[in-house]
């Protein structure tokens, strides 16, 4: 994804198919967003962008962060997925875009404490389905 497309997405703000996340997001929370997009219409997660659209960037080595994201998609999201990962520099700060296509093996879920947890995307939030 090119920088002009990402800048446009950031200016438009979060919506039902765009989520901004700080680099410090937990593995579980990132998996939840992936799952919610998979169970809906898909979406894009911009890592290194704050909720208000401020570009905070990625401080860690990009290759390590990209590998960590791939591991989350393989080990935390069930069934496992392979997201489209890309990095770009905006305002001299690297960010990562994680493109999640609409899932074809629904429902997707997270296993936590031997419980199966399902999530969907409603507006700008990821909601737990009890």
Q: Which residue range forms the structural domain that includes residue 113?
A: 3-129
Task: Give yes or no for residue 52 having a pLDDT over 90.
Answer: yes
CATH of the domain at 11: 3.30.950.30
CA 25 to chain centre: 10
Q: Considering its fold, how many domains does the chain have in total?
A: 1
Q: Which residues, 6 or more positions from 37, have their beta carbon under 8 angstroms from its beta carbon?
A: 17, 19, 43, 45, 100, 102, 121
Q: Whole-angstrom Cα distance, residue 46 to residue 53?
A: 10
Query: Please, which pLDDT band fits residue 1 given cuts at 50, 70 and 90?
Result: confident
Q: Whole-angstrom Cα distance, residue 124 to residue 15?
A: 5
Position of tokens 């296509």?
Answer: 101
pLDDT per residue as tens digits for the range 57-109: 999 999 999 999 999 999 999 999 999 999 999 999 999 999 999 999 999 99
Say which DSSP state 84 is in: E
């Amino acid at each position: 994804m090119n920088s002009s497309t990402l800048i446009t997405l950031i200016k438009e703000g979060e919506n039902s198919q765009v989520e901004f996340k700080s680099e410090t997001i937990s593995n579980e929370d990132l998996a939840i967003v992936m799952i919610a997009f998979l169970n809906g219409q898909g979406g894009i997660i911009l890592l290194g962008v704050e909720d208000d659209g401020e570009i905070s960037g990625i401080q860690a080595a990009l290759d390590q962060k990209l590998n960590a994201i791939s591991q989350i998609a393989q080990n935390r999201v069930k069934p496992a997925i392979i997201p489209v990962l890309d990095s770009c520099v905006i305002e001299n700060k690297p960010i990562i875009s994680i493109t999640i296509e609409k899932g074809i093996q629904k429902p997707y879920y997270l296993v936590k404490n031997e419980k199966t947890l399902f999530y969907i995307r409603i507006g700008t939030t990821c909601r737990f389905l009890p």
